[in-house]
Chain A
Amino acid sequence: MKKSLRFLALAIALALIAVAVAPSAQAAQTVNLVLMGWSSSPSENERLQKIVDDWNAANPDIQVTLNQVPDYDTTLQKSLAGGEPPDVFYVDSFRFLDLVRAEALMPIGEKLTDIDDFYPALRNAFTANGQFYCPPKDFSTLALQINTEMFEAAGLSAPTTWEEMRAAAEKLTKDGVFGVVVPADFARWIAFLYGAGGSVTDDAFTKMTINSPEAEAAMEFYTGLYLDGFAKTPADLGVGWSGEAFGKGLVAMAFEGNWIEPYLKDQFPDLKHKAVELPAGPGGKATMAFTVCYAVPMKAKNPDAAIKFVNYLTGAEGMKAWTDLGLAMPTRASLREGWLELFPNLEPYLNGAEYARKWQFVPGFQAVLDKVNEQLSLVMAGNQTARGALAEIERVGNEVLASR
């Protein structure tokens, strides 16, 4: 008995010590903020830490702790549900409307410096109910990667229209290499949907508009590349994603975001390639913007300090310090020239900002995205027609929109 009790006492004592050692409340005069985000590449993590450190050195009254967490969505969700969210946090445009609907975000857009400088498409991605909620910290767009060696050997120039791209894909499909890699992925096909002049839903997300002749043309073009044998999926080629297929020289073209650039430089330093804007469809140029903002919660404890900090991060100075890494792109038009001097090869991606569409849907729409991916694979396998696929997507989508 004594032994067990001693164990118990020891355990409790240890636990008490541990809790006593855990960080306690800080001094009162300085405001302490927590910036929460997900962790990305080591170089990005280090850069952000440095920006935060510089801020802390310059602002003794507002001290910021950077916290990058694993499993970000769960962590953010539980802290919101618990009523104690971090002072500043990342919000992906994809999740933005969920959070607005849950009244989790404070609209701080109007309180920031020179908001007209943000690209309209990106500001729009974080605007709801007529209010600009949170400033985009950076963004990525899709562009077309072409293998310049293969293009030169075939005497081709970079395609600017769908027809030219198709012709190039046909010509470049030879000797075990395919023209282009086409994943059965809505996040890629949607750029073609918009390029054809189509749309997914109406602006208010009340009903699907995807079952249209434009959408059918987009699906037939995209899947046609595959069915006619000029394209393969990453899985067909035995790779994890399009970037890998392109890097290994299995295909001459790939549609990817600017995140492919550091990857190619790292893993395939000898590859000769360049990015060009996505070829224009019958509806004109189109691409997708994937963007993230710095949000302040509705229940912020120190909203003024948080806004001041966000204003720094997304202001000209803070954003320059961040985007000069050359990974994600600056969301302020005024930074364009300076940035392009550093990274001229990324211009096609940055140009996309002018006509990019946002990657954003309503809560529950994941089921529709899954359905689109499924139908794309069915069409590509020859087991479904484009028209049938769109009808099925429309049916499911309308059901989801109706059940909101």
Chain B
Amino acid sequence: MSTSAVAHQPLSARGFALPPNTGKVVRAVVTYSILILFALAMIMPFVFAVANSFKELPDIAANPMRLTPGVRADGTPYSWTLQGYERALNTQQINFPRAIFNSFFIAITVTIMRVLFNSLAGYALARIRFPGRGFAFAALVGTLMVPGIVLLIPRYLILNQLGWIDTYWALLVPYFADAFGIFLMKQFFESIPREIEEAAEIDGASRFRMFFVIILPMAIPALTAMAIFAFQGTWNDFQGPLIALNLNRDLYTLPLALAFLRGVTGDAVQWDLMLAGSVITTLPMAVIFFIFQRFFIEGVSYTGVKG
């Protein structure tokens, strides 16, 4: 495409003395083509999945490429259907609406608590001198490199000792702080000019007052970033709820419910059910994402700059 745009120009116009307009057009065409191609690659899988989740099972198998119902071998058309959704929501052993509530409740609570705990700890590591601080920080960073699966069983044993298995406690408390978040907050607090605190100290403010009244409000961008990650991570977590819950299916979160559905479908995967379950699992997160997209983008951008 780009070359044809160039070819229309008189010969003299090419080379180094390209008129500014042509250059811009070429650049714009190339730029937008690449971006649209990638945007399609990112979005189309979801579009296919959503469209097919509203189709009949044989139609999904026969015409996955069609975004609208296809036609049977005998010429009669397939129709739109909510069957996948009805089956998912009515699966006997799984209460999907309750799972939606659980996912929200857990993600929101964990997010609030994690923002609080991590920022307190991050601040202490960044600014307050106390014995063992260096070691605490090094150990914290080290845990990021440990493969999560190895913690699965030992963590279960601890939750079991606490008597928390099959309760909300086990889904909430272990996630109230995390190494990555503390690391992020420490980085941020180090970037705040020390003079601000010194001024407050002179005014006789206590550390606590200083933190909540002066420091924390300055940390809104970092807090947003962390809140986003906490929410996203908790919402999508699979292994955490898997070990925390034994018998209490009322506390299932959406990813667990989806994994359960896959078990239900057995050898011959029933894609209408699975795609509908996937859409149900993704939809609330997607809605939140579109409402708060600015914060998501800023949040992610934030980590890199500070990393």
Identify the A interface with B (CB < 8 A). Answer: 1, 4, 7-8, 10-11, 14-15, 18-19, 22-23, 34, 36, 38-42, 45-46, 49, 65-71, 74-75, 77-79, 81-84, 86, 241, 243, 259, 263, 266-267
Contacts and interface: CB of A to CB of B under 8 A. Distances in A.
29 contacts: A1-B208, A1-B212, A4-B212, A10-B112, A15-B169, A19-B167, A19-B168, A19-B169, A22-B167, A22-B248, A23-B248, A38-B263, A39-B260, A41-B264, A41-B265, A42-B91, A42-B264, A67-B249, A69-B260, A70-B259, A74-B152, A74-B243, A75-B242, A77-B153, A78-B243, A81-B156, A82-B165, A263-B267, A263-B268
Contact of B247 (A36, A49, A81, A243): A36
Contacts of A259: 267
B250 interface: yes
B251 A22 contact: yes
Given A22-B166, A39-B93, A74 B113 contact: no
B246 interface: yes
Nearest to B263: A39
A243 B268 CA distance: 10
Contacts of B209: 1
Nearest to B102: A18
B96 to A, nearest CB: 14
Give chain B's interface secondary structure class: helix
Contacts of A65: 247
B219 to A, nearest CB: 12
A22 B163 CA distance: 13
B297 interface: no
Contacts of A23: 248, 250
Contacts, number: 107
Interface centre among B209, B213, B216, B246 (most CB of A within 10 A): B246
B268 A70 contact: no
A81 B266 CA distance: 27
A42 B259 CA distance: 14
B34 interface: no
A79 B264 contact: no
A71 B242 contact: yes
Interface centre among B109, B113, B263, B265 (most CB of A within 10 A): B263
A110 B249 CA distance: 34
Contacts of B169: 15, 19
Interface string B255-286: 01001101111111000000000000000000
Given A23-B248, A36-B247, A78 B267 contact: no
Nearest to B172: A15
Interface in B117-174: 152-153, 156-157, 160, 165-169, 172
A67 B251 contact: no
Nearest to A71: B242
A82 B116 CA distance: 32
Contacts of B250: 22-23
Nearest to A76: B246
B93 A15 contact: no
Given A39-B260, A86-B246, 16 more contacts: A4-B116, A11-B109, A18-B105, A22-B250, A23-B250, A39-B264, A40-B266, A41-B265, A42-B264, A42-B265, A65-B247, A78-B243, A81-B153, A241-B267, A259-B267, A263-B268
Contacts of A86: 246-247
A65 B93 CA distance: 11
A23 B251 CA distance: 11
B205 to A, nearest CB: 11
Interface string B216-258: 1000000000000000000000000011001111110000100
A70 B281 CA distance: 16
B268 A266 contact: yes
A70 B256 contact: yes
Contacts of A66: 93
A283 to B, nearest CB: 31
- Return the 8 tightest CB-CB contacts between A and B, nearest first: A1-B212, A82-B160, A18-B168, A70-B259, A39-B263, A78-B156, A70-B260, A41-B266
B92 to A, nearest CB: 6
Nearest to B211: A1
A71 B259 contact: yes
